[in-house]
Amino acid sequence: MYAVVSSQQRAVRLLEKLQNNGIHASIVNTPRQYSSYGCSYSVLFDARDSYRVKQVAEQNSIKIKLFSLK
């Protein structure tokens, strides 16, 4: 699942916060079909962690949009 953010700085910040909370994630290029929702970088994580990712983002005032490729 992808968490699309508005800047590279926010992607790095979200990644750090997720890792600090034990959530495995990585920064990747935003898939072309979702690039209009944010910057060219997204945070990729396991869909099973969606709820926790939303919580961490909200607690740290990081706006995200979640998408999955199917």
Q: Quote the percentage of the chain above a pLDDT of 90.
A: 81
Fold classification of 2-67 (topology level): Alpha-Beta Plaits (3.30.70)
Q: Give pLDDT, residue 35.
A: 79
Q: Where are the domains of the chain?
A: 2-67
Query: Band of the pLDDT at 39, cuts 50, 70, 90?
Result: confident
pLDDT digits (tens, 9 = 90+) for 13-25: 999 999 999 999 9
Rg (CA), the chain: 11
Measured between alpha carbons, how far apart are the two ends of the chain, in Å? 10
